[in-house]
A and B are shown apart, each in its own frame.
Chain A
């Protein structure tokens, strides 16, 4: 599998960057020029290339802000929503340098230099598509990876308090790159912005306290905010978006004030990882992996360590993630029609899929949706299909009634 993303200034044709993931060779300048040429040429003839399919792959051109063209090439049987990926990458670009800069593209060399700071984020994003390693922060591009812990409600109060003290509104807590708790206003942020913040935190791994100028693509694409990431414990970060004040040194003190007493709670919450579900939720032993999605909140929880004290049999964890991800991208996404970017393609709005499944030689997958909960479950191949339905149904029932679950 491989994926290539190229950014080109639409007007001048100057390549801005090209990023790749996977086992392909670096793309040559002449190729970039030709690809851009195709797009320019068709545009002259009032024709827009929407999408090109090759055997096991896709080539996609997308122009954003009338100034930047992104070209995405996915090959080798990689199943991903290329269009969504490109729009994410565009978001990252806006996040780093702001929409205005990107639209004007006045000093291209300067912009290219500025964009360098988003490379780690881009790398993170592309890397997460690679089936061969465990993605740290993003399993599926549509959702923010989180985990469910009973402490979330308590932590929310702390976050509210913290946000107030730094004169910000939006704050969240991440553990191992998973969104664990948010301040109560956090939902005002677009899910795409949330994801960018998480990616930022992941890309700045290791720094104890740092602030970055960020443009929120939806909320304020032209006015920069300050995103402050602070490491509380190992793998535990607290993120807040605030204005120019207070200074970083002050924030350092404020963090200490706010969070000092909650180390124990955070440690407790940390124990939920890697199961990612509270221990009060139990699962059938035939269940090998689980991806639970809250469609409304755009959050997902993934787990492959469902059974305590049980050695994982056969399938490796990476493989399980890959199966569930592929299952979601190719199949289960139909259950959440509201996530489709463009409705233009087919107007089957009246067609409602409520369940879907796969049987392969080595596993079975089943997805069922109930309200905003979408549950993709990975089972052993020995489970009969109709049993699978019962089990998934039970999982959804358990999750929606469990008192310890707080999205």
Chain B
């Protein structure tokens, strides 16, 4: 808190806030600039913050009721940066001063009300009085309204069970079974008074009005609410987790260490009460096994036990730490053993990240409430996270999600944009902002950041281990799914973390390359579907963080403006269309087209088929799709080949700056020089931007000239002048144009695209590349869904087998001997046959039904670091998986 106070001496003479606010043209900033940020009151006593605001509730607008900065005497100005940042200069935005934040409890009643209303959406349906439904049960409510009801487990609430066939037209799709019937004609109904109310309805002449309460998924669980630390998980949530046999338990092996603990060594148990938790009751078995296995049986410690309890298969996973043992139980029908094994690793990662070690986590005083809400978030997001899946399907976490951070291949152009934005954040170059940068010490160094869009990792500048941990944190806390499902207006999360490197260093004392003894903080900001997680370090060259460290508004804004920048360049519009473009590489989402029958129908009604495929909006792609070549053509032939096309669109851009002639190069360097040489007297803002526009315009004109002259050189095709100095609106235009230029990539050999799905996993880096998450929805095809489902379950099996080889390569003398045959296996394939019923659903009639076969193949490439590639393709064309891996690597 007081860290800022001794910085007062650094205040620059020009410290009036009004100077900045007046010139600001952006209302977003004018609001926050002169006041404490809106998340200020949510900061916990330990300085941590979770602030979420999604865009669903438009009525809660940000009507500023915050006091003015001037009136807050405790505000201390750390410095005032007069910054003409490259990223803000074009908008003429001036940044607020960095200020000390002050603990001031504001009533935030709005937010709470909003939460309530979010869960309580109401639907009103008017039923005609003249309608009489034929009910064979002679039930009043069925006769009157055509619905059948049942009572909720609470014994009071009425739940819609079913609709009579005639009534379906009235209710469906608005009302679904599972919704609560709340009111009839404005009178609240329960199971107790329903008959009286119905009697009144019969007597009433008016058409009855039914009010239903919307229940999502039959569960009133809101991850958003759970995330906010103030709300302890509700009893209903905990009850639900209890019922579904989710449980977490931490036991110490040595009671003596904790004399105050009177729970026989159990340091943490969730959900409580203890005696109702099956894991607590049977903990002796797991503990004994955990000791017995390595000591007396000569095996490793147990990883997972599948138990049968209350007619349910439950996976109990083990994670031991020194003498202690963490157990996690998850029901098998929701999460299978494969995923459970990986989930506990993720949970341990998260706990390590947040608390330094498992022991610290469970022995930290007054931490139980936080752990409760953490575990309820974890379980809720695991069990009910995938809302899109229908209930009958078991919600097994799909293969891709459990293994690594899901990413996808983006055009180089976009990648550069993203990296550029993050790099600028990380660079924290404030030289142009203030006259004497040297005199200020920073609060934090940004040591890395990663950016997500709709749950897909777009870019990461983090160390591999950090990325894995932060990804696990975001995933298990439901932040990624939140950002996928909802449009975030503002998300700010601030947590102190213990980074991997620091933890490792504590264990091994080595003097080389020590990282500073500091503290680390994770700052997560979100906007739209973007989530940016930034890892910051206090220590070393920055000021030391002492005591409770709340988030610094300055850095929050820095991160927010980084996201802001992505909006400025139009990535928020570009990415959704890229996600639905299914182009890099293209997967075949209507597999029935590969059958004889399908080919016929497609040829007949090619327009119809094209309509389905989003890419074909652009006429160019039609020709791309129609064009047929075999794989060697793809690599070798001239400019018509897709690969070459691809190279011309993005690969070469990388070099464009160097190839585009000496004149431009000079221009770039001149600006750079002006920054570094005389940082004291930077060129005025307008001068620079004028200069730029001139430069760009010249470039553009030059480009036009080239194009009109008919030059078809690869180098000239593209607008290669992208750099951080460009006017934003131009970039947006060029980006959106870029999407029109998107070429469809195909990585399989053969005339047609036979690729259905692929996953490229780099487990060391913690990332995997796969088609976008909603590809099944995009395809909307029963056969495709079947194929992908089969693919995923096959991948699990293949992945397990290939691990032998990976483990062996990593460690030649493993403590537990491996099967010597399996260690050599590097490729594993399975050929599946689609069942005729599903083919029939896709319009292939039974009489010309030929068997539909597809391969699922996985291969591990061990050099330079293990990389696994999983492919799913139609059997008609034999594929060389090495070649596909090679082509795929070109797309990255």
Contacts and interface: CB of A to CB of B under 8 A. Distances in A.
B832 interface: yes
B274 to A, nearest CB: 13
Nearest to A357: B829
Given A59-B297, A330-B801, A359 B833 contact: no
A28 interface: yes
A75 interface: yes
B680 interface: no
A37, A327, A358, A362, most chain B CB atoms within 10 A: A358
A59 to B, nearest CB: 7
A54 B303 contact: yes
Chain A: interface size category: 35 or more
B285 interface: yes
Contact of A56 (B300, B821, B833): B300
A334 B797 CA distance: 11
A37 B288 contact: yes
B821 A326 contact: yes
A77 B827 contact: no
B851 to A, nearest CB: 8
A387 B308 CA distance: 46
Q: Interface majority SS on B: helix, strand, loop or mixed? A: mixed
B299 A49 contact: no
A253 interface: no
B803 to A, nearest CB: 10
Interface string B820-853: 1110111111111101000000000000000001
A360 interface: yes
Given A54-B293, A326-B822, A356-B830, A75 B285 contact: no
A52 B298 CA distance: 15
B298 A24 contact: yes
A396 interface: no
A41 B308 contact: no
A73 interface: yes
Interface stretch (A142-150, A196-204, A347-355): A347-355
Contacts of A134: none
Interface residues of B, number: 55
Contacts of A79: 819, 822
B282 A41 contact: yes
B297 A48 contact: no
Nearest to A361: B824
Contact of A359 (B284, B293, B308, B827): B827
A353 B832 contact: yes
Contacts of B822: 77, 79, 326, 330
Interface centre among A28, A57, A363 (most CB of B within 10 A): A57
Contacts of B820: 77, 131
A152 to B, nearest CB: 32
A45 interface: yes
Nearest to A1: B817
Contacts of B826: 359-361
B298 A326 contact: no
Interface in A311-349: 322-323, 326-327, 330-331, 334, 344, 346, 348
Nearest to A352: B833
B297 A75 contact: yes
A238 B285 CA distance: 49
Contact of A53 (B281, B288, B302, B835): B302
B878 interface: yes
Nearest to B294: A54
A74 to B, nearest CB: 9
Given A31-B297, A41-B285, A360-B826, A56 B831 contact: no
Contacts of B828: 331, 356-359
Interface of A: 1-2, 4, 24-25, 27-28, 30-31, 34-35, 37-38, 41-42, 45-57, 59, 73, 75-79, 131, 322-323, 326-327, 330-331, 334, 344, 346, 348, 350-363, 385-386
Interface of B: 278, 281-282, 284-285, 288-289, 292-293, 296-310, 313, 336-337, 341, 786, 790, 793, 797, 801, 804, 816-822, 824-833, 835, 853, 859, 878
23 contacts: A27-B297, A31-B296, A38-B289, A48-B307, A49-B305, A50-B306, A52-B305, A53-B305, A54-B293, A54-B300, A54-B816, A75-B816, A79-B819, A131-B820, A346-B336, A346-B793, A350-B786, A351-B793, A352-B835, A353-B832, A354-B853, A357-B829, A359-B828
Sorted nearest first, the 7 A-B pairs with minimum C-beta distance are A77-B819, A55-B300, A360-B824, A355-B831, A359-B827, A31-B296, A386-B878
